[in-house]
Structure 1
Amino acid sequence: MHQLKLGPGDVGAVAGLPVTTPVRTVADVILRADRYPAVCVLDAALNRQLIDESDLSLVAALIARRRGAVAARRCLAESDGRAQSPLETRVRLRCVDGGVPPDALQLEVRDEDGYLLGVGDLGWRGARVIAEADGQTPHQTPQAIYEDRRRQNRLTNAGWTVLRFTWPDTLRPDYIPHTVARALRRPR
């Protein structure tokens, strides 16, 4: 049995039901979740603007001296609100763990006239490599497939290598970093 001590600023209401605030909820979740889900929760809360960068210090204060605080602080350091889905977060963490961290998230690629060719989920600018995290739902319609292909063709014609990863790819710790590392080593 656990007893949760809540302060006056830790509780709000949704549809008349008492709920903990986003800051408190994030703090409680990252104390109990493994690294990948914890960073996904942080990224999603930041991306959806449920919390902002300044709230991370409040989360740090809430987790202080609690069981799991050391690991949770590491998750705070890895959070990035530019990730637009848990899949993007997982791909990024696999790259970090495999020694090939991206130097950009949501990388805009433009031609010499400034025309936007596409936005890559993760990018390595020097090697001109983009990694796309292709979730099943957003990329399954015929229209989305055609748009993805056109965008990939524009990027490829501009000299970029586009790698595509799915959720099952994130379940194999070595696959994503190995694939990215090979693309990074390829001469331009």
Structure 2
Amino acid sequence: MTVFIGFFGATLGALVGAIATYLTARSNMRLTLEHSYDQTLQEKRLERYQALFHVSKCLPRYWPPMEQEPKRKDLQQYMRDFHDWYFGEEAGGMFLTATAKDIYMRLLNLLAEAAFKGGDGPDGDSPLTAAESEALREVAGELRRQLAEDVGAAHPPRLRWTRPGPQASPPSLGN
């Protein structure tokens, strides 16, 4: 009888150990696959976001003094540039997070409203209003901040002494 209890205990222990090992290995494999997928997605997103960041340079934080503010026809070209990034060979739009996509679509809507306002048509040479200019630049800045957040570039370093200071306010240009 003691042999039977010992054998039964050993068999039960081996069975429980095998089940625990199976569940642990399965869970570990799932985590490894999810991590690998997330890492690949993050690498692709970083590449696409860098390209979008460069496309957004047409709408800087403020217009440099030596440059003229864009005309409505320039906004039409900007719309094409953003469209080409979204649907181009690299399919950048596929990699936008939900928050970034929302901001991106708001920016495109503002561009379209401003580009075709007042029936200017495709060769609109009229200047932007101050409100249109400010709205476009604000949403473009919001998009760039979200891109940095999505790829982790907006997170402060873990070492306290290396953290950057606050962002400087833009100068008043008297607009």
Alignment TM class, shorter chain as reference: under 0.3
* TM-score scaled by length of structure 1: 0.21
Flag the structure with higher strand content: 1
Q: Whose Rg is larger?
A: 2
* TM-score scaled by length of structure 2: 0.22
Higher relative contact order (CA 8 A, sep 6+): 2
